[in-house]
Structures are given as structure tokens and as C-alpha cells.
Structure 1
């Protein structure tokens, strides 16, 4: 879909206007300030600057149909150029979204938002002391978010504050992410650092040596500076891809290296691939008092699992769930994905019915996203997926099912190229929420990433400014440089917590 923008030539608008166009069209081509006769639509903007800046948008289709919209916003004097542009971008985006909605007949329930973490907006307003009604009004006016999505955001924010009463005071603690970059096979939709583990034992051994070094170095810094750990999350890849003995040694290293391990509020291990779970590995988890794990079916349709490269059976998922239960795992999460290839409402109804037989403590419902580097995106013509209408119906089915079974939504995030412009929602039974999932999504605390492909997100305790830092994604590069990356993280931590450490 080719869209020609007239009246705006500032290149800074190209990306946000392209992202909004992508909400409506699978492939959009937005051009600024050019008049092209082959464009599917021409949108002319008129901007009237003043204390109350107004924007008029006129969309004319190739066939000659015309759609009009306007928006306005107060842009106070004395703002920095960057702050003034941000406000102008908001008002332009609202007029732009409105004409695209009128043209296509598609209503974007998330309004102009294209970012990952919409609930951060509501948290910010509430933390500043704004009443709920006023906050909701601003979200609707400023971003064109629907009442339905605002209500979902409020449910989630309320739950998060109930689960973590000191939520806004976590800035002087940290959480730890430990990445294990190996899986039995790589799923077609995945872009995480994940390498098929078969035949890679040399890489695994070297990687684990580097990971142990990072754990010791970071643990020593935390102890010396009396910094507490809130949560620890083992992700990947699939952390249970390594052997039981390797898992045991890893958890022993964490126990010895990290401060006040008994006071850590939550430890989670992703055992997402059922084909990696064994009685021996579950015994190791029990030994180290880890009882929160994920066992992820994604779907209960065998043909789907084969199509997306998950080389395990539906029966294995169920059997491993029961095995984990029998061996004392009391907080099990399961992930489901809406919109997998070949699946519609009928198949998703079956998956929900199978979930009902297990009733995990939490259920994360993802909407399929065509991630740029995934196998599925590279070979899109091979993977037939449901249309927007059916995707929305499936999300509605998930919302109704979770409500019926007393699950509550507790965290939410969105992705680019997500089907139906929907969202991913974590549901849980009361008091079984993942604290780590809340913390990482709301960006209230520094998360230190250790291991191959692990990303650190450093959040300044004073300003809230975020600095990201990532370890190398492939095992060889990580093995060659883990010591250097550990030192760099400590350098950032010294700078970040310097006031707290005085």
C-alpha cells in the first residue's frame, strides 16, 4: 500500500507514520513530500501553529474518495525542541490515524500506540497522583485508546500494585536474567538466541564456564555494594536443555555467589520445551527450592507443532506437566499462541479445552508476531495464518475462558507485526503472578543479563533513564569475550548506583 504524505517533509515523521500505516496494511510504503501518481492514497496535512496547535488531514484515494480529520493539542512555550516535536508528533498521528480508520473501516483499539509497553503510561499517571478517571480521559484523548483497552490496562496496573506493594520503590534493587542459548530445535517463529544443542557439547561447556564467571563477578559486586536481588529468571533458549548435572552446578554457583539468596522473592526456570524435562532435572529444581517453571504447549494440535518446528508431541506436554506436578512443582506457567499457521477458532477452542484439564497457575496468551529474523517471516508464503477478524475472535475466546476460570490479567506487552494489532497478556490465579514478568515489562528496575545473548537493562535510580547493553548472541563470540562484558556491566553499575553507594 503506497501512501503519499504532503505538507510534512521532516524525516523524523517517516518512521512513526510508517508504523501507524503498518497497523492497517501488511506492507506499506509511506513517502514524505513526494507527489507520485501511482500512490494508493494521498494525505495532505495542514498544520496551524500556536499555543493550541491544530492539524488538518485530508486523505484522497486513487479512486477519488476523500476523508477528513483534525486534531489539536496545546504546545506550551519554553519547551525544548525535542519536547515540542514529541507533542507535535502526537497531534499529527491522531489526525493521521483517524483518516486511515475512516478509509479502511478498521478501528485501532490501541489508538496511535505502536510501542511495547502501554501500561507504563497508566503507571506514570497514577504514580504522579492522578485520579483514575482523569488518567483514563487523558489516555483516550491523547492516544485514542479504546475504553476496552483502558479497562484492561487498569485491571493489570491494579493487580501489579497489589502483588508488589513497593512497586515504585524497587529502583535500588536489581533482578537477574540468566540466558541459556540452547534448545532441542529452533521454533519457526523464534528470534531469541537459541541454538540446537545436539552436537554442541563443546560449545555448551565453554559457554557454561563463561556464565559461571559472570555470575561470580556480578555476585561479588552486589555483595560488596549491599544491593539486593528481587527476582532471578532463567530464560533462553530453553534452560532445561542442559544436563541435570550442569543445572545443579549452575544453581550451586548462584547460591554461592549471589547475596541473601534466601531473600530473593522469586526464582523462575523456563522449562518451555517439554522434551527437555526429565525426573532428574526436576529433582535438581527441588533441591534448590525452585518450584516456578514454564511448560509451554503453544498449541495442542500436533500438526501445528510439527509445522512450527517443535519436535515434541501433545501427549508429552501433558505427561511432563503431570510429572512436574507429582514432583512438587506448585507454580507452573503455560504459554499459548493465537494465530499459529493453520489454526482458527476451532483449533484454539480445542487448545483451551485441553488447558482446562491441566489448569496451570498461570497462562500467557501470545498473539503470533512475524518477527523480522524468524524462519516464519523469511518464508511467509509457507505459513498460512488467520485473518484479523478471526484473530480477534480467538483473543476474545481467551479473555472469556480465563475469566470463567478465575484467572486475572497481570501483565501485558505488544510487538511489532503482531497479528490483528493485538497484544500478549499474562493471566494468573491470584497470588501466582510472575514478579519478574511485571518488573521487566514496566521497567521499574535494573535487570542484569548474564549469559550468551542476554540483554541488560540498566535503569537510573534517580532519573529513570534506561541504558541497554547486550552480550554477544552466538556462543563462540560469547566464549571469547565474556570477561570483558562482565567488566563492562560492572562499570555501568558503578556509575548507575554511585549516589546510592555513597
Structure 2
């Protein structure tokens, strides 16, 4: 555990704690930032902050106590016009973050290609710049100057934003519509890296039956509200868990409820069902999907190394993934996504090349390349010593392999997001054959419209149609709590919708 003592010219404002800790986490797996100076033998960083009229003068000096190694950085920045104390503080925070990142880069020799950016959705910055009327060059300069984002990552953002606007030309005008997320909180087993609401389905049929009753109720009530107010649905996404964990009969009733409850289902731009676990896919379930005109699914190998699948708790074989992919294709699924994860335990460039070679034999319409993230509540994070993962350098090599492979096979990047504790401070990127992109993935990442979450553990994200203000709301994560309170939670969601759309 590395302890970094921070002295900001005597300032101990706790609002600095979080941004400085997030930047520290980019360099050290285990660290603690303390705003109180001490004589510790660890690392100290001293900031001198002076504000004269409209200029911020800042210098940062990092000292390693034991070796007496010292690194310094200083610069000045104009204070931009601001209206509130919060906006002013943000400028100070950004300046301190800027100086802090520079001294840590110099001290460690690690260059952070995403700069001071620790947020999940970088491309939102590019969209904001476009909506404010910035030219491409102005937007790029702003991202480089204000956030220290590398040109490589800015170009990636540019490609993605251009593709998104080609796929959804009215992306900036979708706030008067909604999308729906339907969560099915069951899986055959729980993967070691997973923190989604997911319960092993074996022996829980009573819970499944009760849960589905509540979900049908939510679908009817929300659908009724949307119909009465003439609000369109842009996309519907069945996630989880694994939505194909339930039986074919239960799936059939669920999609029938969707057609009966939701307005103009035939005009919804996209309906996706995650069939991520190949061991849940059967001919009967594929027939149900076909019956209800659902042809976009996700069949997720994660890796084509059997030892890896066993290590992370996915109880299916590599062969089963390939067989179920072909079965889905033969039974009319015309838009199949596959997820791969870079940096899984025991895997390096050799194993990832094998996974890409196997993917080449299948050529799904879209491919989402995730970088492993140590999520706080996952089994993998709780037992880090058990799961040996690749180094930062090797993880970066694997990401470049994915970039080169997708480009050479006709895929284009169309969405991107980042996570805390992600290996190598990298990103997750969705690639697609042009014209086969997921509308839902774009909408949820760019936060352009409200997404109403239905089902156990489903989160709603309400976007105010005029102000863009975001309100989060989550259903209970465990089936029993959900079964006890789904009516109450449905009513609360409807009250939020009334505030958003009727005022």
C-alpha cells in the first residue's frame, strides 16, 4: 500500500480528496491519498496555489522521502468566466489535477493517454463540443489542452462520434422518446468478474415465477403511461443476468406482454436480447425470439481458452459457444454481438491472438472488446491473489491487437466507455460492421434520453427533456425485496416520469 501525503498550500478541503485519489489509482493498484501532511516515509506532494486577478499559478513538487527523489511541475492558467462557486471550484480542481498528473507521470514514467479524465463516458465531451458549435479542430484542442487526452484517444473519440451520428442522425433530438431496459436477474452460474444482479437459477423456480409476475406488472403500467401520453420507445434491451436463463415458455409470455403493453412495438427501432451464456441457448428459445421478430442477440465467448472459462466460473465449453453461434445463425438471428475480455486471468497476447483467430471463423456483426475491470464487489476483486492478470504493457498490446484486427476485418468503433480499476487505464470499445451498430448502446453511453429500467436490479436513468439533468433510480437487487415492493417502485417511476414530461 502506497500512501501519498498531499499538502495543497495548507488547504484541506475534502472535495479534493476524491479527484486526487482517482488520479492516484491510475498509477498504483493500492494507494491511499491523505490531505494531512506528515513525516511519513512514503511520497509527499506539495502544491503552491496562487490566484492573481484572472490567473491561476500552480506548482507541484513530489518528494519520495526515503530516496530524496524529487519531481516538479508548474504552469499558469487563465480563470474562465464562471457564474457559481461550484464552477469556480471545478477550475481549481482541474488545475490541481493537471499538475498532479504531470508529476506522477514524471515520477513513475507511466503516460496516461486519457489524461486527467477518470469519467466513464469520454465521448460525451466530444458531443458537447459539437452541440456548442465547436469545429473539429477546436474540439480536439480543447480535449488535449483541458484534459491532457492524447491525440490517439481523441482520434478514437472522433471516429466513434461520427459513426454514432451516422447511425442515429437525430441523436440530439431523442429526449422526448424513451428506451426500456428489462433486467432478468438469473444466470446458470455467476462469473468471477461480475457485479450485475445475477443469481444462479438452479433451484430458484419459485423466485423466478414471483419475479416474472412483478415484471409483467411493471411492463403493463409503464406501457399504459407511455400509450396515454403518446411517448415513443426508441429501443428495448433485455439484460441481466442472462435473459435466456428463463424457460422458452416464460420468454414467450414476456415478449407477448411487451407487444400487448408497449406502444407501437413494430416501430421500435431495435430490440436486443442478451443470450450471453451459450449454455442457456436452445432451439426452442431461438424459435420464441424468431416468433416475436427479435433478431439481435449477444452470444458472449469472453475467451476461447477453456482453462480461462473454468477459472472465471463460466460453466460452458468453447465448443458450445461455437455450436450455439451457428445454431442462432441457422435459426434466423441476423445481428449477433459477441463480447471478448482483454486481460482475463492467465491470458496474454498469445491467448488473445487465439481468441481473435477463433472470432475470425465466425465474424459476428458486432464485437465488444472489454478490458478487465476489478469491480469492487466481484469475487475476483475479493480474491485478487487467486487471479493473476497481465501487466499494463501486455494489456495495452492486446488492445492494439483488437484495434488492428477489427480494422482489417471491416469493423468500425461505435461506442466506448471506461470503468474504475480498469486494467492499464484503458477502455471498452464496441465495434460493428457498418449498419449493424446497437442503438441502445449508443443511447445509454451518450445519455441522450431517459432509459426506464424494469425488473429486479434494473436501474433507470431519467434525463430531463429540456435541461438534460440526470436522475438515477434503482429497483431492489434481490428477488425477494423486488417481489415485495415492485408496485411501490413502479409508482415512484411513474411519478418521476410525470415530473419530467408533464411539467
TM-score, length-scaled by structure 1: 0.98
Q: 1:385 aligns with which of 374, 383, 389?
A: 389
Distance in 1 of aligned mates of 2:359 and 2:491: 45
Q: How does 1:42-121 map to 2 (within 5 A)?
A: 42-50=44-52, 51-62=54-65, 63-76=67-80, 79-121=83-125
> What is the aligned partner in structure 1 of residue 269 from structure 2?
265
Q: How does 1:107-186 map to 2 (within 5 A)?
A: 107-186=111-190
Distance in 2 of aligned mates of 1:135 and 1:107: 22
> What is the aligned partner in structure 1 of residue 432 from structure 2?
428
> What is the aligned partner in structure 1 of residue 236 from structure 2?
232
Does 2:464 match 1:460?
Answer: yes
Q: How does 1:330-479 map to 2 (within 5 A)?
A: 330-479=334-483
What are structure 2's unaligned runs of at least 5 residues?
none
Does the 8 A contact of 2:41 with 2:64 survive in 1? no
Partner SS, residue 49 of structure 1 = strand
Distance in 1 of aligned mates of 2:184 and 2:334: 23
TM-score, length-scaled by structure 2: 0.98
Partner SS, residue 26 of structure 2 = helix
Q: Report the alpha carbon displacement of residue 78 of structure 1 after superposing the two structures with TM.
A: 5.4
Q: 1:294 aligns with which of 292, 298, 302?
A: 298
Distance in 2 of aligned mates of 1:17 and 1:126: 29
> What is the aligned partner in structure 2 of residue 4 from structure 1?
5
Does the 8 A contact of 1:71 with 1:94 survive in 2? no
Distance in 1 of aligned mates of 2:374 and 2:240: 19
Q: Report the alpha carbon displacement of residue 76 of structure 1 after superposing the two structures with TM.
A: 4.2
> What is the aligned partner in structure 2 of residue 29 from structure 1?
32
Farther off after superposition, 212-221 or 73-82: 73-82
Distance in 2 of aligned mates of 1:48 and 1:137: 26
Does the 8 A contact of 1:456 with 1:469 survive in 2? yes
Q: Report the alpha carbon displacement of residue 70 of structure 1 after superposing the two structures with TM.
A: 1.9
Does the 8 A contact of 1:23 with 1:421 survive in 2? yes
> What is the aligned partner in structure 2 of residue 303 from structure 1?
307
Deviations 1:416-448 (A, max 9, x none): 000000000000000000000000000000000
> What is the aligned partner in structure 2 of residue 20 from structure 1?
23
Does the 8 A contact of 1:183 with 1:197 survive in 2? yes
Distance in 2 of aligned mates of 1:278 and 1:79: 59
Q: Report the alpha carbon displacement of residue 137 of structure 1 after superposing the two structures with TM.
A: 0.2
What are structure 1's unaligned runs of at least 5 residues?
none
Distance in 2 of aligned mates of 1:37 and 1:184: 49
Q: Report the alpha carbon displacement of residue 42 of structure 1 after superposing the two structures with TM.
A: 1.1
Partner SS, residue 24 of structure 1 = coil
Does the 8 A contact of 1:335 with 1:365 survive in 2? yes
Question: How many residues were matched structurally?
Answer: 498
Partner SS, residue 234 of structure 2 = strand
Calculate the aligned-residue CA RMSD, in Å: 0.8
Partner SS, residue 477 of structure 2 = coil
Does the 8 A contact of 2:339 with 2:367 survive in 1? yes
Distance in 2 of aligned mates of 1:211 and 1:59: 55
Q: Report the alpha carbon displacement of residue 166 of structure 1 after superposing the two structures with TM.
A: 0.2
Partner SS, residue 74 of structure 2 = strand
Runs of 4+ aligned residues of structure 1 deviating over 6 Å after TM superposition are none
Distance in 1 of aligned mates of 2:151 and 2:81: 32
Does the 8 A contact of 1:113 with 1:143 survive in 2? yes
Deviations 1:53-79 (A, max 9, x none): 121101111211111112333224653
